[in-house]
Amino acid sequence: MLELLSNPQTWIAFATLTALELVLGIDNIIFISILVDKLPKARQEVARRLGLFMAMFMRIALLLLLAWIVGLVEPLFTLPVIDKGISGRDLILIGGGLFLIWKSTAEIHGSLEGEDDTTADGARAAKAAFTSVILQIMVIDLVFSLDSIITAVGMVDDVRIMIAAVVASVGLMMLFASAIGRFVSDHPTIKMLALSFLVVVGVVLVADGFGHPVPKGYIYFAMAFSLGVEMINIKMRKKTATAVKLRQQIPGGEE
């Protein structure tokens, strides 16, 4: 153990894998933030932390089942139309991608059309909503965890380093998850942008499952660029609103 800790390559691998896990976890944080935003304020933080804890334990469990992970990439059957062997991993990616597309599209529709929150039993409905959110988080955790762990296995050989990187990355996610959740909730345009990119991520997962992987660097670059543009728009809108307010306060100013 001391020999492992004293090896510089260990720390380089740990830092690299932690950074990679953080990048791959962005989709998960955004999805969790959007889901828990539907819950009462008092339960949002509980659901957010529970969702991230489940993601961490799921990734650790998958790391301890490396033989099973390797077996998932073996073809189960072949699709003659595309002449592609479909493995267990492919089925999980396709199913998870379709779920992400469906859920994100439903959230976009709900945001645009409005949702009916009336209910005969508020307490029962709140409990059902909490359970539903947790189940949906578990489904998407499995998809993102599988993708993340397969990437980690290809980078590092020592399971201990992988587990340490997963724990560290989830810990960092927890530090920023609340702030990200509040920001997404307070800015409808950011929420719509995030939902749109989750649809894209779902399409990418389905494409990967059918043997047409798309480099995620393109997706993350587009996401970062769009977010940067939207941040500029938010700042410009605030400056415009402040300027209008100041003019209205000045005697003789424009109404």
Q: Is the pLDDT of residue 122 over 60?
A: no
3-state SS, residue 151: helix
Q: Say if residue 18 is in the same domain as residue 72.
A: yes
Q: Is the pLDDT of residue 202 over 80?
A: yes
3-state SS, residue 87: strand
Give, for 86, the enclosing helix (H) or strand (E).
strand 84-87
Q: Say if residue 181 is in the same domain as residue 249.
A: no
Q: Is the pLDDT of residue 160 over 50?
A: yes
Q: Say if residue 74 is in the same domain as residue 128.
A: yes
- What pLDDT, in 10s, does the model give residues 224-245? 888 888 888 888 877 776 655 5
- What pLDDT, in 10s, does the model give residues 2-33? 666 676 777 777 777 777 777 767 777 888 88
Q: How many CB atoms lie within 10 A of CB 83?
A: 8
Residues linked to residue 78 through DSSP beta bridges, in sequence order: 85
Q: Say if residue 80 is in the same domain as residue 129.
A: yes
DSSP 118: -
Q: Which two tokens stand for residue 193?
A: 């942008």
Q: Say if residue 11 is in the same domain as residue 25.
A: yes
Cβ-contact 36, 51 below 8 angstroms: yes
Using a pLDDT cut of 70, give the percent of the chain over it: 76
Output the pLDDT for position 130. 78
- What pLDDT, in 10s, does the model give residues 29-53? 888 888 888 788 888 888 888 888 8
Output the pLDDT for position 110. 77
How many structural domains comprise the chain? 2
- Average of pLDDT values for 73-90? 77
Q: Say if residue 152 is in the same domain as residue 231.
A: no
Q: Is the pLDDT of residue 118 over 50?
A: no
Nearest to 144 by CA among 6, 232, 5, 26: 26
Q: Say if residue 162 is in the same domain as residue 205.
A: yes
Q: Is the pLDDT of residue 167 over 80?
A: yes
Q: Say if residue 143 is in the same domain as residue 254.
A: no
Q: 124 pLDDT band (50/70/90 cuts)?
A: low
Output the pLDDT for position 116. 52
Q: Say if residue 129 is in the same domain as residue 27.
A: yes
Its domain, for residue 238, covers: 217-255
Output the pLDDT for position 89. 77
Q: Say if residue 33 is in the same domain as residue 119.
A: yes
Q: Say if residue 241 is in the same domain as residue 207.
A: no
Output the pLDDT for position 217. 74
**Which of 74-78, 96-100, 142-146 has the lowest average pLDDT?**
142-146
- Rounded to whole angstroms, how far apart are CA atoms 254 and 209? 58
Q: Say if residue 153 is in the same domain as residue 178.
A: yes
